[in-house]
Amino acid sequence: MFKMRIFILFFATFLVSSATALPASAITCKSYSACQQAVVNWCEGRHPRADGDGDGIPCENVCSSVRQVNAIRVSLGLNCPPAR
């Protein structure tokens, strides 16, 4: 009986922790209020589809140019995916 309680407690903890984690696919460009947020998440792989058209500008709703993206990337020392 004790082992069953431990198993149920472990399983319940697993369900709660996995339900609260935000999957990368749930991040959208609309969730960013600043270009820096988009660049950081894009460069660190948390939002790989942020640059949908491959022009080197993630989330064009908050980032307006490659120059702006590169300035953020360089200032933070980020290694971003190359433009397609």
Convert 71-82 to b/e letters by CB count within 10 Å (16 or more is b). Answer: ebbeeeeeebee
**Domain definitions of the chain by residue range:** 24-84
So what's the pLDDT on residue 26? 64
- Spatial distance between the Cα atoms of 35 and 43, rounded to a whole number of angstroms: 12
State the pLDDT at residue 81.
Answer: 83
Q: What is the pLDDT of residues 16-75, one digit of tens each?
A: 444 444 454 568 999 999 999 999 999 999 999 999 999 999 999 999 999 999 999 999
pLDDT at 6: 58
